[in-house]
Amino acid sequence: MAGQKNMVTRVNQPEILGILWMVLTGLLFLGVTVLVKILGPRVPAPEAAFLRYLLGLVLLIPMLKTSLKDKLDSVLWVNFIARGIFHTLAVVLWFFAMTQIPIAEVTAMNYLSPVYVALGAVLFLNEKMAIRRVLAVIFALVGALVILRPGFREVSVGHVAMMGTAIFFAGSYLFAKHLTNRVSAETVVIMLSILVTIGLFPLAYIVWVPPRVDELMILFGVAVLATLGHYTMTKAFMAAPVTVTQPVTFLQLIWAISVGALFFNENIDPFVIAGGIIIVSSVSFMTWREAVSKKKQVTPVTHETKL
């Protein structure tokens, strides 16, 4: 009996560790959204995004040694640049949406990104979509409609921006999946950061407002938390199957709703909660179906905040 109990403990420990890593990931990304909300609209979205990436470049120095070993050909450069464009647009729209709509709605609508990844994989990577996955995508889109409620309330420019954010992040993710087959993860991260910084510069220059010291500190904090969030998320995926860690991402929505209500005087919208539950459940189902499928998919369905 004792031996069986020890065996169960050994089996479950990695999954528990994966869950804890994902909980920490959610808290770090919540910190990102809170800091951007505190920053407010004084610094225009393109400038805020540019400064976040510029300040974050210093955090990538430890990766340079590994990255320099990769040789980049013209095909890789085209893919890197295309991904940089998609990611640049996504980041600008995300920063803008944060100034327009509640934290909870930004968080809930960000869960749509894996849905668009699944659709993009069918359209551009020739993946087949089983009927169960089709139904999961439909339910996720229904969840988005529950949040937006077009015809029953005004769909603001912030909501439109978040829809665009999820689409462009999905495009960035599809390019990333292709690139990781050719070069190291460090090179993918470094090239993204450099190209997004370059892509954001002209947009930031057009609307430039001299930032205060406190605003620079907030944006550096965003860079640190986002970088740590990607690291802890990777640790979670290494420790446990995605089917275990995926449902934990729903906690981020609960925290976002609580923080928005307690610290930013945002109303608790039951439709946002219901829509978020539908979307997360659909994405979790797609993740589970992929895990039990005999076929290897090109693009695993995972929720990832890619700021």
pLDDT digits (tens, 9 = 90+) for 2-45: 454 554 444 467 778 888 988 998 899 999 999 999 999 999 99
Quick one: which of 132, 106, 170, 154 has its CA closest to 292? 132
Beta bridge partners of 150: 153
Chain centre distance of CA 159 = 16
Residue 41 one-letter amino acid: P
Please state the rounded mean pLDDT for residues 112-138: 78
User: 247 burial class (0-12, 13-18, 19+ CB within 10 angstroms)?
Assistant: middle
Contact in structure between 53 and 261 (CB atoms under 8 Å): no
Query: Which of 24-28, 213-217, 225-229, 239-243 shows the lowest mean pLDDT across its residues?
Result: 239-243
Rounded-to-integer distance, Cα 269 and Cα 259, Å: 13
Q: What's the pLDDT at 244? A: 73
Residue 246: pLDDT above 50?
Answer: yes
- Report H helices in the chain: 2-39, 45-56, 64-67, 74-98, 103-110, 113-124, 131-148, 157-179, 185-206, 213-239, 242-245, 250-263, 270-292
Classify residue 82 by burial, with Cβ atoms within 10 Å: 0-12, 13-18, 19+. Answer: middle
pTM as predicted: 0.83
Mean pLDDT of the chain: 84
* Per-residue pLDDT reduced to its tens digit, 74-85: 999 999 999 999
What pLDDT score does 291 carry? 66
- The pLDDT tens digits of the residues spanning 55-67 come to 999 988 888 888 8
Average pLDDT over residues 245-260: 85
Taking the C-alpha atoms of residue 281 and residue 72, their distance in angstroms, rounded to an integer, is 39
Q: What is the DSSP letter of 212?
A: P
